[in-house]
Amino acid sequence: MLHCPSCSASIPASDVEIDGLAKCRQCDRVFRFEPSVDLDDSRAPARPNGVFIDWREASPILGRPYRESAERPRTPVELSWRWRSWSVLLVVFCSLFWNAITWASVVVGVREGSGMKLLCISGHVIVGIAMGYFTLVRLFNRTRVVATEEGLSVDVGPLPWRGRVEVSLTEIEDRVQVEKSEMRVNGSSPYHVVATALDGGRVRLLSNLAHERARYAAWAINQSLAGRHPERAS
């Protein structure tokens, strides 16, 4: 089900055009959307470079009779990718340059015993520390997406950073969608992977991804929710 990005109201099929244009009846907003990844398409889209995927077998314990139901059991899957890319070299250079000048000024201020100079550059020190931490995050962090028979979880690490999500499958519909962001970065719009809560709300699982990565992640999650095992099928 498509939802309005402004008021989160459901958009009926009659208000959706085939070219990706939709209108919300609640707030009259007209917007473009990224068509959902086809849940019935068992053919995997091209796996983006740097994305690792591991299809797993369902736990035999979770398959015991007391959990029997008419629903198809989910297929556990894990995806992961590093944040490191060639663009991080610019971040490293800026961080090293900023901190080198800042801490050189701190050393001079300490030697001169100038409290006023140290006070003036204290803001630059804070910025330098933040830049250094962000550089380490870009170098060493990775995103890990795990879909199991119980829920979906997104973890980022090893350094603490925003983006951690954990949701039970009893709280969302059995599919996720790719959503185009209204924000533009370097002339292009990033994409989000979102789920629809049973109460009609939106749960953003992954944010600010390239289109290919968002589409592949959504496809893998949807295959898991549908109980498919693409590697076994092939």
Highest averaged pLDDT of the listed ranges 137-141, 193-197, 198-202, 207-211: 137-141
SS3 of residue 219 by DSSP: helix
Average pLDDT value for the chain: 82
- Residue 221 to residue 7: CA distance in whole angstroms: 26
| Of residues 165, 140, 170, 167, the one with CA closest to residue 154 | 165
DSSP letters for 82-125: E---TTHHHHHHHHHHHHHHHHHHHHHHHHHT-HHHHHHTHHHH
**Strand 77-82 relative to strand 51-55, pairing:** antiparallel
Residue 176: pLDDT above 70?
yes
Choice among 4-8, 69-73, 108-112 with the minimum mean pLDDT: 69-73
DSSP annotation of 71: S
pTM: 0.73
Choice among 18-32, 36-50, 67-81, 109-123 with the minimum mean pLDDT: 36-50
Percent helix, strand, coil in the chain, to 5, is 30, 30, 40
The per-residue pLDDT for 218 is 93
| Of residues 189, 186, 139, 191, the one with CA closest to residue 161 | 139
- Residue 12 to residue 28: CA distance in whole angstroms: 13
pLDDT in tens, 118-150: 888 899 999 999 999 999 999 999 999 999 988
The per-residue pLDDT for 219 is 92
Q: Which two tokens stand for residue 91?
A: 């971040």
Segments making up each domain of the chain, as ranges: 1-33, 34-83+141-233, 88-138
- Residue 58 to residue 114: CA distance in whole angstroms: 65
